[in-house]
Structure 1
Amino acid sequence: MYYRRPLFWVLVIVVCIFTLSTLSHLNNGPSPLSLTSWNSQSKAPAAYPLPIRPGPPTTRFKDALLPDHKYIFTFPNAGWTNDVMNVATLLLLGILTRRTPILSPFHPSHIGKDASLIPFSKIFDIERLSAELHMPLVEFEDIKNTSDYQHDLDPVTRGYYGGETESMGCWTLWPTQAANGAGARSLAQDSLSLDLSFTPIPFGHEIEKPYLHWNLHYLAELAFPAGRKDGIKQAQSFNENLAKIMSSKPNNKDAIPEPRKIPFPNKKGEQIDPDEQVACFDFVYFTGMYKGGTEWWDESSPIWHLVGRHMHWAPLIKSLAIEYVSDRLGIPANKRDGTMPPFIAVHARRADFARVCPPRPREECLAPLRAYTRRVEETRQALAAKGFQNTGPEDLKVIMLSDEPKVTPTMETDRLLAPLYAPGSAEAWWKSVADQGWFWIDHEELNSVSKHGKWYTMLIDACIQSAGIGFVGTDRSTMSSIALRRTEEWNNGVGSLVRWGRPDSDAH
């Protein structure tokens, strides 16, 4: 049978790459006695010249695009780890559609607006990633100058929000996924000086009910001529289908919205169909190849094996993590060789998770420290069984990384968290960590923000989480889950996630 759709042949190529990549990994995995993969330097990248016009970027991004080349783009619109996973999905879409990804800067969603935005390449080794994915990667900074004098005076807008405001048509997933009258997730468009008109993707292509995780293959179809044409046509029935779905929901309290113009007009009132040259999506985090949700964490996960495992830290992030860990473990300067020493990382996510505990008391909901201690001992045993040496407490130290405040919140310092904390409870928790003989990174004591900027406390912690030979994290935290995958993949390490929600949740 002859298949006309180019997506079929792209999928055949992806399966072949996935198979060869997996076989290569099995034959060339890191030694169980060292951090070979994590400590390796960037490979010399293959020559992937950026498919953009030569010269410095102008105030219009389309001035930089090659007329005979296709691109694909999405925006950050969540917590940072989820935004990383959103970018990985974009990269996989780039493979499926044979389009060049345009990487947007990350927004400081969890660390304060005055941290400003940060380019992808400040966090991840973009040259290595491009080489390992065998495709060029363009950053938004490469194609548009969004800096101007007025905005650069304010740390919130520095480097962004300038340039000419450009109108453009994009696809939006969120109104279809949420199915409750929501609009597009378009937080980032102002910072890039874009004015976007959104076309909702059609209903009926979800992987699971309710309508949250959408089929990645279908999104890829929208990036091809026939799929785009069909998607624009189907989108015209969005209002009718939304009303039917909302009416069929049991106990639905959301009012069915008034019918909206399709495409949704931008701020200028323009209705623009999704761009042909730049396939643009508002937010692709809630998608999957076959089931969505926990798909990232499956052993066979395509998005991890094809993309996620190649997203290594930028050299500066790695060097800072090595410095912080070496200092904390007391390794003398004359004993350091520029590589990460072995240790076990623990990520206890507590502060924000405590907000979902009520009406159950916080300390009956969050996992107790003894659950992490038990998992650490199990990790030591698993490392020894795998061939690692010197895995006892005297040789293999533990570094705790947690959002638990060092000082118990009060109504004056944090009105959201204060009601959840008993007096002195945060200090008592950290004392218990110290009583275990474990270490931690105190960024306030080390003046990390003044030295490196607000982004780097989180980035250094995330890097350290991925750098040990053992890892114990917190269940239902994407930050923990991705650190566990990195530990297993890059370091041939072992680890687990501590369950929480009830006092006995992690009993096993």
Structure 2
Amino acid sequence: MGSPTHQQPRFLRIALPLTLIISIALFFYWPDVHGAWRLYEPTREGEGGGGELVTSADDSLLTGNPGDATMDRLQPHLSYLTAGKGAGLTNQVWSAINLLYLSYLTNRVAILPPFFANQQILSTTRISGLPVSGMFNLSRLQLEVPLLRGVLDWEDVHPGSEAEWVTDSKDWPEIGGWGGLQKNVKFGFAKLKPIWTPYPGTTRSTTDPRYLNWVGFVPYLTPNSAFYQSFIARLLKSTPDALPPNDHLVCIDEVLAGSEMTGGDPYSEFVQGLGGWKYIGTHMHFRDELVEQGRVVLRKVFGVGEEEEVPPFIAVHIRHGDFFKEHCPKDAGDRICYTVSQYAYGVARLQDEMVAAGVPSTTNVLVLTDELDDTFFEEVKRRGWKTSRDGQGVDDSVLRNRLGGWYPTILDKVLMSLGSHFVGTDRSTMSVLSSRRVQDWNNGLAHMTGPTGPSLSLEGETLSWS
């Protein structure tokens, strides 16, 4: 008697072909870990003459004329994305990186809001916003990341929009947007009044409502996606008079606290050089004239001639200010948190790592800080370290006139990025971005200093406390 013919269970006969079909579809249409739902890719033209990225020989990212309504300035065949920003300048830079990363993942043209003049800047002469292109070389960014669909400042859409950050008008048209966490976020730069729809539940990275998960959010932002269409259908069925998030121009209240990892910490993701930093941030270089001005200042700081190279140095960022209140132990006084001696320990540890790694060591140290107390600077000086005060007196009139109150804080960021190695303040976003720049751009080593921990006295004695 022959062996009985083996027959697969019915669910397998159905499931296996279906799995194959889905796998093939995902292969062609689903993004890779750093790709996107891209329907087409921009071509690179004129690489020898400016390297401007355009979608075709006769195409542009905008239409109409300055002064036209916002939606009339957008090309009907392109999709756009923008978001609000807040907090200090470094956090706004972080938000710009995330906005660009989302546009990269969704094949949308990014329209970047200007940097908002927060309290630090408002105390100076310039109170209007600053276009992102006033600080970063966006042309270089697009050349290094050619899959970016396009990058615009809102200044390109509405000239003068950087002055309207905190302005609202009842006459501006309403537009549906994603968010609602920041009830008072302003969209004056866009001349629009967003009506917020809460994020879908699948976009949450953690139980903290501020944290967004890009993997969960991107399907809703992809132009004409089934996720978006299904969500809108359910929204209008439950709330017929709702104004759904616009699909032509996606508006998000804020994108600072987003990450790729479910349950991930956006801070940790950037510390590790992942996500938005890996694909966007590392390519956001400062404008050439800012870098050159930084070198001029550093030559003055370290006493070298105009034609000489800036010597290797360790950049140290010491964050004080609100960090005393937010991160120091409650029973600790200000002066045993984030002390110069603790950063000295970090510098010594970094120098040991240089020797171990076979990297030429250096004793040149430049301290950048928000501290204003003279006794602090006296202690820094006793260690033989330099500060930005040692660079005063160079001609910076052109940049000061152009940047106004933005100049000092931008210069600090540039100076940190030029360090051969870096010691920063743990949990400071400025330190994180500076650390990544030094590691990525200069192949440097980095160390972060917490509020309490080992310290190194001037005599070389190592101290510790709990």
The whole-number CA distance in structure 2 between the counterparts of 1:44 and 1:12 is: 32
Which residue number corresponds to residue 99 of structure 2?
90
Which residue number corresponds to residue 218 of structure 2?
220
Rate the CA distance shift 1:112–1:86 in 2: closer, same or farther, 3 A.
same
Report if aligned partners of 2:85, 2:116 keep a CA contact under 8 Å in 1: yes
- Give the CA deviation at 1:456: 1.0
Which residue number corresponds to residue 312 of structure 1?
285
Deviates more, 1:277-286 or 1:59-68: 59-68
Of 424, 427, 433 in structure 1, the residue corresponding to residue 374 of structure 2 is: 427
The whole-number CA distance in structure 1 between the counterparts of 2:180 and 2:212 is: 10
The whole-number CA distance in structure 1 between the counterparts of 2:195 and 2:88 is: 24
- Give the CA deviation at 1:462: 0.8
Residue identity matched to 1:201 = Y
Of 366, 373, 381 in structure 2, the residue corresponding to residue 399 of structure 1 is: 366
- Which one has the largest radius of gyration? 2
Of 40, 53, 75 in structure 2, the residue corresponding to residue 48 of structure 1 is: 53
Of 128, 132, 137 in structure 2, the residue corresponding to residue 125 of structure 1 is: 137
3-state SS of paired residue (1:197): strand
Question: Is it true that 1:281 corresponds to 2:252 in the alignment?
Answer: yes
Deviations 1:130-181 (A, max 9, x none): 111113211111112346xxxxxxxx94899599953242433353xxxxxx
Report if aligned partners of 2:168, 2:188 keep a CA contact under 8 Å in 1: no
Deviations 1:202-238 (A, max 9, x none): 3343222243322112221222332223333555799
Please show how residues 3-152 of structure 1 align to structure 2 within 5 Å. 3=22, 9-12=29-32, 14=34, 46-49=51-54, 51-53=60-62, 57-113=66-122, 114-134=126-146, 135=148, 136-146=150-160
Residue identity matched to 1:351 = G
Aligned-residue CA RMSD in angstroms? 3.5
Rate the CA distance shift 1:232–1:503 in 2: closer, same or farther, 3 A.
farther
The whole-number CA distance in structure 1 between the counterparts of 2:446 and 2:109 is: 35
The TM-score normalised by the length of structure 1 is 0.72
Report if aligned partners of 1:102, 1:138 keep a CA contact under 8 Å in 2: yes
The whole-number CA distance in structure 1 between the counterparts of 2:237 and 2:384 is: 62
Question: Is it true that 1:441 corresponds to 2:388 in the alignment?
Answer: yes
Which residue number corresponds to residue 173 of structure 1?
179
Q: Percent identity?
A: 23
- Equivalences, count: 411
- Give the CA deviation at 1:74: 1.0
The whole-number CA distance in structure 2 between the counterparts of 1:5 and 1:164 is: 46
Report if aligned partners of 2:114, 2:189 keep a CA contact under 8 Å in 1: no
Question: Is it true that 1:200 corresponds to 2:198 in the alignment?
Answer: yes
Report if aligned partners of 2:202, 2:216 keep a CA contact under 8 Å in 1: no
Please show how residues 197-346 of structure 1 align to structure 2 within 5 Å. 197-224=195-222, 225=224, 226-233=226-233, 272-290=243-261, 291-297=264-270, 299=272, 301-333=274-306, 335-336=307-308, 340-346=310-316
The whole-number CA distance in structure 2 between the counterparts of 1:78 and 1:219 is: 23
- Give the CA deviation at 1:116: 1.3
Report if aligned partners of 1:342, 1:469 keep a CA contact under 8 Å in 2: yes
The whole-number CA distance in structure 2 between the counterparts of 1:8 and 1:185 is: 41
Which residue number corresponds to residue 322 of structure 2?
352
The whole-number CA distance in structure 1 between the counterparts of 2:151 and 2:303 is: 39
The whole-number CA distance in structure 1 between the counterparts of 2:274 and 2:438 is: 16
The whole-number CA distance in structure 2 between the counterparts of 1:160 and 1:174 is: 17
- Give the CA deviation at 1:46: 3.6
Residue identity matched to 2:389 = D
Report if aligned partners of 1:206, 1:213 keep a CA contact under 8 Å in 2: yes
3-state SS of paired residue (2:430): helix
Report if aligned partners of 2:87, 2:118 keep a CA contact under 8 Å in 1: yes
The whole-number CA distance in structure 1 between the counterparts of 2:418 and 2:104 is: 28
Rate the CA distance shift 1:262–1:499 in 2: closer, same or farther, 3 A.
farther
Report if aligned partners of 1:347, 1:473 keep a CA contact under 8 Å in 2: yes
Deviations 1:235-274 (A, max 9, x none): 5799xxxxxxxxxxxxxxxxxxxxxx898xxxxxxx6321
**Structure 1, unaligned runs of 5 or more:** 17-41, 148-155, 176-182, 239-260, 264-270, 406-425
Question: Is it true that 1:471 corresponds to 2:422 in the alignment?
Answer: yes
- Give the CA deviation at 1:80: 1.5
Of 431, 454, 461 in structure 2, the residue corresponding to residue 480 of structure 1 is: 431
The whole-number CA distance in structure 2 between the counterparts of 1:81 and 1:319 is: 21
Rate the CA distance shift 1:365–1:216 in 2: closer, same or farther, 3 A.
farther
Which residue number corresponds to residue 153 of structure 1?
none
The whole-number CA distance in structure 1 between the counterparts of 2:304 and 2:171 is: 52
- Give the CA deviation at 1:296: 2.4
The whole-number CA distance in structure 1 between the counterparts of 2:404 and 2:211 is: 35
The whole-number CA distance in structure 2 between the counterparts of 1:72 and 1:484 is: 29
Which residue number corresponds to residue 186 of structure 1?
185
3-state SS of paired residue (2:95): helix
Deviations 1:450-492 (A, max 9, x none): 6551101000101111111111000110110111111111100
- Give the CA deviation at 1:370: 1.2
The whole-number CA distance in structure 2 between the counterparts of 1:218 and 1:8 is: 20
Residue identity matched to 2:128 = S
Rate the CA distance shift 1:174–1:470 in 2: closer, same or farther, 3 A.
farther
The whole-number CA distance in structure 2 between the counterparts of 1:392 and 1:386 is: 13
3-state SS of paired residue (1:346): strand
Residue identity matched to 2:67 = T
The whole-number CA distance in structure 2 between the counterparts of 1:488 and 1:372 is: 18
